[in-house]
């Protein structure tokens, strides 16, 4: 297949692209390489992909219709679009909500419209467990999600509903994945695992929102990428959780890091942030039933891989964190 992956220099997009290339597909990658976090990480991930001859990369912004339309016009035989490009931080979305709407809603709309025009019949959207907010756990896909706690979650709700309209009106086959806290090597330096590994390894203060009793259904990046690719088959319109179904507390994550890094973390507590959700837990019955998907990587093994990656790249990876983000 020939598949267009947006956000291909991103944490999840690069892994999805890598697995697709390994399966023998052609991948057209798009990414605007923005500065939401240190671009060296995006460049590092891109470099791993550029050794594959079936990978083509275009540094484009999905919210700029005038730039992506000519690309779609020039592209023959695209089978599917996997839209992983997004502004993704929950807390950062309070600082500049506009950019979240531009990329996550307008960008998604641009891609849907181009799929309609070019008769590309499969669309995959990355959405988020953040949509469930404070609902009862485990989170099932049919829970009401009309009270998002942050502009980030609201923008993803907007993208999901646009996808439904395009499915309804033009019979576009859409799979929406709600990912649960994705972690792994070469992760995002604005997410807790990367920051906590680095701060502990470098003996710096570890900034912790809340008391660490918050729970997350951490899901390993390769499991997420595998599930996303399974979603390429025709499904109509489906919203599917991808989570590990095994939530762990942030305290436990810190304990694991301390053991692996062999240093004590210097905790600096901050108040719990109102845009954060206290706990997440995915009901993955639907992913199992529709995709035959099962998470495979144990949390302890996945954290170890992230710690190992950090130490292999420490000379530059340590300086990718912005303390106030």
Ligand X SMILES: NC(=O)c1ccc[n+]([C@@H]2O[C@H](COP(=O)([O-])OP(=O)(O)OC[C@H]3O[C@@H](n4cnc5c(N)ncnc54)[C@H](O)[C@@H]3O)[C@@H](O)[C@H]2O)c1
> Which positions are catalytic?
152
C-beta of 234: minimal distance to ligand X in Å? 22
Does residue 248 contact residue 281 with C-beta atoms inside 8 Å? no
Task: Look at residues 156, 173, 152 and name the one whose alpha carbon lies nearest to residue 164.
Answer: 173
Q: Which two tokens stand for residue 235?
A: 């499904």
C-beta of 259: minimal distance to ligand X in Å? 23
- In the complex with ligand X, the residue whose CB is nearer, 33 or 290, is 33
Does residue 177 contact residue 229 with C-beta atoms inside 8 Å? no
Contact pick of 4, 9, 124, 197 for ligand X (by CB under 6 A): 9
- Asked if residue 265 binds ligand X (CB under 6 A), the reply is no
Contact pick of 112, 114, 115, 126 for ligand X (by CB under 6 A): 126
For 194, 314, 323, the CA distances from 309, given in Å and listed in that order, are 10, 8, 20
Q: Which residue is nearest to ligand X (CB)?
A: 10
Q: How far apart are CA 33 and CA 39, in angstroms?
A: 7
Of the listed pieces 90-98, 180-188, 205-213, 250-258, which binds ligand X according to CB under 6 A? 180-188
User: SS3 of 98, please?
Assistant: helix
Does a cis peptide bond (omega within 30 degrees of 0) precede residue 114? no
C-beta of 88: minimal distance to ligand X in Å? 4
Task: Look at residues 87, 66, 77 and name the one whose alpha carbon lies nearest to residue 28.
Answer: 77
Residues in binding contact with ligand X, number by CB under 6 A: 30
Radius of gyration of the chain (CA): 19
Q: For the window 63-102, what string marks contact with ligand X as x by the rule CB under 6 A?
A: x--------------------xxxxx--------------
Does residue 37 contact residue 322 with C-beta atoms inside 8 Å? yes
Of the listed pieces 29-37, 196-204, 228-236, 305-313, which binds ligand X according to CB under 6 A? 29-37
Q: How far apart are CA 246 and CA 142, in angstroms?
A: 20
- Label residue 74 exposed, middle or buried (CB < 10 Å: 0-12, 13-18, 19+): exposed
- Asked if residue 7 binds ligand X (CB under 6 A), the reply is yes
- Asked if residue 32 binds ligand X (CB under 6 A), the reply is yes
For 26, 50, 106, 283, 302, the CA distances from 57, given in Å and listed in that order, are 11, 8, 21, 35, 28
| Bridge partners, 81 (sequence order) | 4, 123
Contact pick of 105, 154, 182, 284 for ligand X (by CB under 6 A): 182
- In the complex with ligand X, the residue whose CB is nearer, 140 or 263, is 140
The set of residues, in sequence order, having a beta carbon less than 8 Å from that of 284 and lying 6+ positions away, is 241, 242, 243, 245, 293, 295
Contact pick of 3, 4, 5, 10 for ligand X (by CB under 6 A): 10
Of the listed pieces 30-38, 132-140, 161-169, 257-265, which binds ligand X according to CB under 6 A? 30-38
- In the complex with ligand X, the residue whose CB is nearer, 5 or 201, is 5
Of the listed pieces 110-118, 181-189, 268-276, 294-302, which binds ligand X according to CB under 6 A? 181-189
Q: ∠ at Cα 295 (290, 301), nearest 5°?
A: 170
- In the complex with ligand X, the residue whose CB is nearer, 184 or 212, is 184
Contact pick of 93, 110, 128, 192 for ligand X (by CB under 6 A): 128
Contact pick of 3, 4, 11, 173 for ligand X (by CB under 6 A): 11
Positions touching ligand X (CB under 6 A) are: 6-7, 9-13, 30-34, 36, 42, 61-63, 84-88, 103, 107, 126, 128, 179, 181-182, 188
């Amino acid at each position: 297949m020939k598949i267009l992956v947006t956000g291909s220099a991103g944490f999840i997009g690069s892994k999805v692209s890598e697995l697709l290339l390994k399966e023998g597909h052609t991948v057209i990658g798009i990414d605007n390489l923005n500065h939401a976090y240190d671009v060296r990480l995006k460049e590092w991930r891109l470099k791993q992909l550029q050794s594959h001859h079936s990978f083509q990369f275009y540094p484009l912004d999905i919210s700029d219709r005038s730039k992506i339309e000519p690309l779609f016009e020039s592209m023959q035989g695209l089978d599917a679009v996997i839209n992983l490009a997004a502004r993704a931080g929950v807390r950062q979305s309070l600082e500049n909500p506009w950019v979240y709407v531009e990329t996550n809603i307008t960008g998604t709309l641009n891609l849907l419209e181009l799929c309609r025009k070019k008769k590309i019949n499969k669309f995959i959207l990355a959405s988020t467990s953040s949509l469930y907010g404070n609902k009862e756990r485990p989170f099932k896909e049919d829970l009401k999600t009309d009270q998002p706690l942050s502009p980030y979650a609201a923008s993803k709700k907007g993208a999901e509903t646009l996808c439904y309209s395009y499915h309804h009106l033009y019979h576009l086959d859409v799979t929406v994945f709600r990912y649960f806290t994705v972690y792994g090597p070469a992760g995002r330096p604005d997410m807790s695992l990367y920051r906590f590994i680095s701060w502990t390894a470098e003996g710096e203060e570890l900034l912790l929102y809340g008391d660490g009793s918050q729970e997350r259904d951490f899901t390993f990046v390769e499991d997420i990428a595998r599930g996303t690719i399974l979603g390429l088959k025709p499904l109509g319109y489906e919203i599917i959780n991808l989570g590990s179904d095994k939530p762990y507390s942030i305290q436990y994550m810190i304990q694991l890091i301390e053991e692996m890094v062999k240093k004590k973390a210097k905790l600096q507590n901050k108040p719990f942030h109102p845009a954060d959700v206290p706990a997440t837990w995915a009901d993955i019955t639907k992913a199992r039933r529709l995709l035959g998907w099962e998470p495979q990587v144990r949390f302890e093994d996945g954290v170890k891989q992230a710690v190992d990656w950090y130490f292999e790249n420490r000379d530059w990876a340590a300086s990718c964190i912005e303390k106030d983000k």
